[in-house]
Amino acid sequence: MSGRALRWLLSLAHRAAVQEPGGARGRLTIIRHHRVYAAGARPLYRLGVGEPVLAAQLALLGELGLTPVTVAEGWRRLREGEPGSWVALTFDDGYLDNVERALPLLEASGGRATFYLTAGLIERRLAPWWDSLAHALEHTRRDLLEWTVGEMQLALPLRTRSERVSALARLVPELRVHPVERERRLAEIAGRLEVGEAPCELAPWESAAALVRSGMEVGAHTLDHPFLSLLSPAEQRREVAGSVELIERRLGVRPTGLAYPGGDHDARTLEIVEASGLDYAVTTRAGINRPDDRPFELRRRGLSEGACLGPSGRFSRRLAIAELDGAFDRMRGVEVGT
């Protein structure tokens, strides 16, 4: 039995908690998204949901009386002691498809969301590192990648789409290094595959401005999307403060929240973010948020297509609710926060 079928069967017995009042302390569930793809799109590296799935998620939340709010709004309600349950919707990185696909759906549903922008990449019109890797693997005419990283020699076949997807999965961990080393490794891979620079699919500033005009929250996501714990304190401060200042300069609003790239942070990061004047920061750790939680380690829950589609491949209302409640976290070995 597949994992999807098993989760769907378990969801039949699940008692929904996301609709519960939340008690006197309140509760905030934050959903994490990235890209929003056109129906039928088949990118080599799928980092997000299709437009029809996002539409179904928004419709479900509306039916549950949980039309999404921004993280800033949800966190404010918790801090002020307002009882109730809320769902906040977030989108990381700042892709143009967020503006072209997510924004119209949010406006039609009456929902709001928080969009965390990788300001430095937007400014310089550079593709994020994972897009550069996917572009190289998708567009190369070579059928084998031979590459030495450290003391390890890799020989990855690239004859079929399936092999290229596998190669991508194998290479991603090798790029979770300091940005200087990461760029060197990316350049080596692109050179061996004989592929040029990847296009930047992040929203330009003039498009990102539509988010502000529509009443959405814009948050910071650093300048260049590094793994912050790999940086020196000075480098971390530059990434955090620089992104806040650049967004304010380009969009006229000063972010009050930050999303840690890849959820990665350490004790120094927490000190730097708190000292920067931000109100909160979100992680990738699963769980719900309560008023007495630490503001710079708020929890977020992924709600991917695989988490919402039943065995038939159709959107499953029951399965999506169970996922929102974290019903399968322990089954996946996810570190859970309550």
| Domains of the chain by residue range | 3-124+200-337, 129-193
Are β-strands 301-302 and 217-220 bridged in parallel, bridged antiparallel, or unpaired? unpaired
Q: Are 322 and 328 in contact (CB under 8 A)?
A: yes
Q: Distance between CA atoms of 235 and 27, rounded to whole angstroms? A: 34
Count the alpha carbons within 13 Å of 35 in the hemisphere toward its beta carbon. Answer: 18
Q: Distance between CA atoms of 99 and 211, rounded to whole angstroms? A: 7
User: Which two structure tokens, joined as six digits, stand for 4?
Assistant: 């999807």
pLDDT for residue 24: 52
Q: Are 98 and 115 in contact (CB under 8 A)?
A: yes
User: Which two structure tokens, joined as six digits, stand for 2?
Assistant: 């597949």
Q: Are 304 and 3 in contact (CB under 8 A)?
A: no
Amino acid at 119: A
Cα 161 to Cα 141, 195, 199, 329: the distances in Å are 12, 17, 20, 31
> Residue 329 carries which DSSP code?
H
Place of tokens 């996501």: 221
Q: Distance between CA atoms of 154 and 103, rounded to whole angstroms? A: 42
pLDDT tens string, the chain, 338 residues long: the values are: 455 555 545 555 455 555 555 455 689 999 999 999 999 999 999 999 999 999 999 999 999 999 999 999 999 999 999 999 999 999 999 999 999 999 999 999 999 999 999 999 999 999 999 999 999 999 999 999 999 998 899 999 999 999 999 999 999 999 999 999 999 999 999 999 999 999 999 999 999 999 999 999 999 999 999 999 999 999 999 999 999 999 999 999 999 999 999 999 999 999 999 999 999 999 999 999 999 999 999 999 999 988 888 888 889 898 899 888 887 776 655 554 44
Torsional class of 312: left (φ above 0), alpha (ψ -120 to 50), beta (otherwise): alpha
Query: What's the predicted TM-score (pTM) here?
Result: 0.93
Q: Distance between CA atoms of 91 and 111, rounded to whole angstroms? A: 13
Q: Distance between CA atoms of 55 and 103, rounded to whole angstroms? A: 11
CA angle at residue 85 from 103 to 63, to 5 degrees?
Answer: 55
Q: Distance between CA atoms of 303 and 326, rounded to whole angstroms? A: 10
Q: Distance between CA atoms of 2 and 275, rounded to whole angstroms? A: 47
Count the alpha carbons within 13 Å of 284 in the hemisphere toward its beta carbon. Answer: 14
Homologous superfamily, domain 3-124+200-337? Glycoside hydrolase/deacetylase (3.20.20.370)
Q: Are 171 and 135 in contact (CB under 8 A)?
A: no
User: Which two structure tokens, joined as six digits, stand for 216?
Assistant: 């959405």
